[in-house]
């Protein structure tokens, strides 16, 4: 397939590869193809960042066999890229920002950065993008920025100091359609007046069914957008009952369940997928039409509690609409707006087809951005900080007094210090590399030594929203940490939601550990224990077993038998019941214990003694002659021997976990 956009870009890029480029073109015009070509050209380290792990992984899968590519999809606060070795790094905005804050040495070899969906600088992802661009400007690293929905291209050109490559046409044409009871009209000439005998008094649903049936009769499929998870599930169920092969898709589903839906879509087994914005950005899907059944999105407060509905913006609309008619899959695509009547049809057409893309601007926190910038700069005076902040997208033209206020606030919080220049303190570095907002630090129990750390974690602004209004967060987290069942708690949360809550709690607990350690606060050990218990879902005593790869449900049972040490477990494997339980849970215990046996052969001897004498009576002399006195001492210490007359037996013959 020909990509005119790529030809336009490379005619300029080949002549001047060290300039910054801003590529503005519709979805489906070949922006991702362009990015892959650049990544494969080599010469130093190339980095591609996007808003979604799935999008970065998609690019990774296409380039991994042709270059040394690394996908960074771990938690943003983890220090796992320190020893990065590769030619291409694929990540989210935040993961690269985290690497920059850590100031890894390999960053000096970066030759180019590609930022996909650069318009996200106007939304909630702005902080990471701003810091990446500040770093690239400071280090002289060329940027290639991509977007389909720029509200003001000239503003972006000035911010990025970039050459604009603009292309209006999609490689695959996307036709605009409006539907209202019972008519469908499209810009490519498709027009249909459906003959419907309303039987359910649900004209909008019947219209949707007719639209999807027509698409299905063409041998095509559709992505149907709705406002909420509940809407997705209910509508998918109704469409299935009406005879259309339909699945729902939303962020509350497990990764496995979402993959199943996408696999069915790729195989052509579905007429429609009903989805929230979870499928709204970036990922290349074999979808012919995107149908907007609902034009609302939920409004939630800082605690994640639902507060009402808002209209979908035109920028959000264009992102979702762009999933239709993708290269490789179709020669055209449709965007269809479903309206309840002709009046709304005209309103929707005017707003979404003929309007201007104006995303909701969400400026990053100035204190957090200032701290992030200083974290990777060795010596920054106030003038340089002010000039740098003034060069950003969101703070261009910022008043000097705002930057002064920010510096004063950071100094009062002991995150910065000022001598002949601004420098970050150990506490400031802990906050920066933990990837938390400065305002989140105010919720940490730094002054209040009596405050419960788990309560502070659950109520932090990074964790509370993931509870989606559930009031049982502390109990849920405590039970999880103790290895107990969390069944019946926060019942409105999906398994994925609970996973997100636990993941965010793990992040904030580690940030709390770093902060307290930087402050020489003795509670840092407690914070680390909490973090590890959240990470593995077991009490502190079972962490070593968890690190060795023993599953959570087995560890809890082992702790009941006072087994918290891998060495002791590798002895107990001699018992038949233990071995059977390990096999039942697919634990490769022989592999896990191999190093233990190699480091201390007496452990293996003790295990074999259990295995040989289980269910038998024996004399101590016999055991000693076969396995030695060290083995006897070990079994006695573990209280595994019991006298029976003048002979002994193995205690725990029936022990299982």
Is residue 656 a part of any domain in this protein? no
Query: Which of 225, 452, 253 is closest to 319 using CA atoms?
Result: 225
| Helices vs strands, H then E, count in the chain | 28, 22
Sign of CA dihedral 590, 596, 597, 602: negative
User: Quick one: 200 and 315 in the same domain?
Assistant: yes
pLDDT tens for residues 3-43?
Answer: 788 899 999 999 999 999 999 988 778 888 999 999 998 78
Residue reference for tokens 């000039």: 387
Beta bridge partner(s), residue 200: none
E strand or H helix at 342? helix 342-348
Question: Contact, 60 vs 35, CB < 8 A?
Answer: no
293-307, 406-420, 438-452, 549-563: the lowest-pLDDT one? 293-307
Is residue 359 a part of any domain in this protein? no
Tokens of 110: 């970066």
Is residue 159 a part of any domain in this protein? yes
Q: Which residue has the higher pLDDT, 562 or 303?
A: 562
Query: Which of 288, 146, 145, 317 is closest to 225 using CA atoms?
Result: 317
User: Quick one: 32 and 99 in the same domain?
Assistant: yes
User: Quick one: 527 and 410 in the same domain?
Assistant: yes
Residue ending a domain, among 296, 319, 353, is 353
Is residue 411 a part of any domain in this protein? yes
Overall number of domains in the chain: 4
User: Quick one: 244 and 299 in the same domain?
Assistant: yes
User: Quick one: 269 and 394 in the same domain?
Assistant: no
pLDDT tens for residues 254-265?
Answer: 888 988 999 999
37: domain range? 4-166
Query: Which of 23, 22, 24, 32 is closest to 1 using CA atoms?
Result: 32
pLDDT at site 354: 81
CATH number at residue 72: 3.40.50.300
By the 10 Å C-beta count (0-12 exposed, 13-18 middle, 19+ buried), 197 is classed as exposed
197 pLDDT band (50/70/90 cuts)? low
pLDDT at site 280: 67
pLDDT at site 653: 44
pLDDT at site 279: 79
Residue reference for tokens 């006695």: 636
User: Quick one: 535 and 550 in the same domain?
Assistant: no
Average pLDDT over residues 499-519: 95
- d(Cα 316, Cα 123) in Å, to the nearest integer? 11
Is residue 604 a part of any domain in this protein? yes
In the chain, the N- to C-terminal Cα span, in Å, equals: 59
Highest mean pLDDT among 103-112, 349-358, 378-387, 631-640: 103-112
User: Quick one: 217 and 149 in the same domain?
Assistant: no
pLDDT tens for residues 115-149?
Answer: 999 999 998 899 999 999 999 999 999 999 999 87
Residue 24 falls in which region: left (phi positive, over 0), alpha (psi -120 to 50) or beta: beta
Three-class SS state of 622: helix
Residue ending a domain, among 166, 195, 221, is 166
Is residue 358 a part of any domain in this protein? no
User: Quick one: 202 and 282 in the same domain?
Assistant: yes
User: Quick one: 328 and 413 in the same domain?
Assistant: no
DSSP strands (E only) in 154-293: 162-166, 174-180, 183-186, 191-193, 222-225, 246-249, 272-275, 289-292
pLDDT above 90: residue 90: yes
User: Quick one: 375 and 340 in the same domain?
Assistant: no
User: Quick one: 533 and 556 in the same domain?
Assistant: no
144 Cβ contact partners less than 8 Å away, ≥ 6 residues apart: 20, 21, 23, 35, 38, 112, 113, 114, 115
pLDDT above 50: residue 461: yes
Is residue 72 a part of any domain in this protein? yes
Query: Torsions phi, psi of 526, nearest 5?
Result: -65, -40
User: Quick one: 515 and 583 in the same domain?
Assistant: no
Three-class SS state of 647: strand
Question: Contact, 26 vs 170, CB < 8 A?
Answer: yes
Q: Which residue has the higher pLDDT, 196 or 426?
A: 426
Average pLDDT, the chain: 90
Query: Torsions phi, psi of 107, nearest 5?
Result: -60, -20
- d(Cα 342, Cα 214) in Å, to the nearest integer? 20
pLDDT above 90: residue 595: yes
CATH number at residue 489: 1.10.3380.30
Is residue 237 a part of any domain in this protein? yes
Residue ending a domain, among 522, 540, 558, is 540
Q: Quote the pTM value.
A: 0.82
Residue reference for tokens 């073109």: 25
Residue reference for tokens 């009941």: 560
pLDDT at site 2: 60
């Amino acid at each position: 397939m020909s990509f005119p956009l790529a030809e336009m870009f490379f005619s300029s890029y080949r002549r001047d590869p060290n300039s910054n480029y801003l590529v503005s073109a519709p979805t489906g015009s070949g922006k991702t193809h362009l990015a892959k070509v650049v990544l494969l050209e080599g010469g130093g380290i190339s980095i591609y960042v996007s808003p979604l792990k799935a999008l970065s992984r998609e690019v990774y899968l296409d380039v991994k066999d042709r270059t040394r590519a690394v996908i960074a999809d771990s938690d943003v606060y983890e220090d796992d890229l320190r020893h990065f070795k590769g030619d291409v790094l694929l990540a989210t905005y935040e993961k690269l920002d985290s690497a920059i804050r850590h100031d890894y040495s390999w960053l000096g070899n970066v030759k180019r950065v590609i930022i996909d969906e650069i318009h996200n600088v106007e939304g909630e992802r702005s902080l990471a993008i701003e810091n990446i661009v500040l770093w690239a400007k400071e280090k002289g690293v060329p940027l290639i920025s991509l977007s389909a929905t720029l509200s003001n291209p000239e503003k972006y050109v000035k911010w990025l100091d970039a050459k604009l490559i603009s292309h209006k046409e999609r490689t695959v044409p996307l036709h605009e359609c409006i539907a209202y009871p019972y008519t469908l009209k499209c810009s490519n000439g498709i027009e249909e007046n459906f003959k419907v005998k309303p039987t359910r008094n649900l004209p909008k649903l019947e219209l949707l069914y007719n639209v999807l049936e027509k698409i299905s009769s063409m041998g095509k499929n559709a992505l149907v957008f709705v406002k909420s998870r509940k809407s997705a599930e209910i509508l998918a169920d109704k469409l299935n009952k009406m005879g259309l092969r339909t699945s729902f898709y939303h962020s509350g589903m497990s990764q496995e369940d979402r993959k199943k839906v996408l696999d069915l879509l790729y195989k052509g087994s579905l007429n429609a997928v009903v989805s929230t914005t979870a499928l709204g950005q970036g990922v290349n899907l074999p979808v012919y039409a995107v149908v907007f059944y609902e034009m609302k999105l939920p409004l939630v407060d800082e605690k994640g509690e639902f507060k009402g509905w808002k209209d979908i913006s035109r920028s959000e609309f264009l992102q979702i609409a762009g999933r239709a008619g993708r290269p490789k899959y179709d020669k055209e695509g449709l965007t269809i707006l479903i309206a309840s009547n002709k009046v709304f049809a005209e309103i929707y057409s005017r707003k979404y087809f003929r309007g201007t893309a104006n995303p909701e601007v969400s400026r990053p926190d100035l204190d957090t951005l200032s701290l992030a910038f200083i974290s990777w700069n060795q010596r920054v005076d106030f003038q340089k900080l002010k000039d740098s902040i003034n060069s950003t997208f969101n703070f261009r033209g910022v008043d000097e007094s705002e930057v002064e206020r920010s510096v004063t606030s950071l100094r009062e919080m002991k995150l910065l210090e000022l001598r002949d220049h601004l420098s970050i303190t150990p506490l400031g570095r802990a906050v920066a590399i933990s990837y938390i907002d400065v305002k989140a630090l105010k919720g940490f129990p730094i002054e209040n030594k009596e405050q419960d750390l788990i309560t502070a974690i659950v109520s932090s602004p990074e964790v509370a929203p993931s509870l989606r209004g559930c009031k049982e967060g502390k109990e849920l987290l405590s039970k999880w940490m103790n290895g107990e069942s969390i069944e019946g708690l926060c019942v409105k949360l999906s398994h994925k939601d609970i996973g997100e809550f636990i993941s965010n709690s793990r992040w904030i607990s580690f940030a709390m550990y770093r902060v307290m350690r930087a402050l020489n606060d003795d509670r840092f050990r407690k914070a680390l224990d909490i973090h590890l218990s959240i990470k593995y879902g077991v009490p502190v005593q079972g962490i070593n077993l968890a690190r060795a790869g023993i599953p959570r449900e087995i560890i809890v049972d082992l702790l009941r038998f006072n087994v918290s040490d891998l060495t002791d477990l590798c002895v107990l494997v001699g018992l038949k019941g233990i071995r059977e339980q390990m096999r039942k849970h697919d634990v490769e215990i022989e592999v896990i214990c191999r190093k233990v046996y190699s480091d201390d052969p007496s452990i293996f001897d003790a295990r074999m003694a259990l295995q040989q004498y289980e269910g038998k009576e024996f004399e101590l002399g016999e055991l000693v002659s076969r396995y030695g006195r060290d083995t006897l001492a070990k079994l006695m210490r573990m209280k595994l021997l019991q006298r029976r007359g003048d002979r002994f037996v193995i205690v725990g013959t029936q022990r299982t976990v």
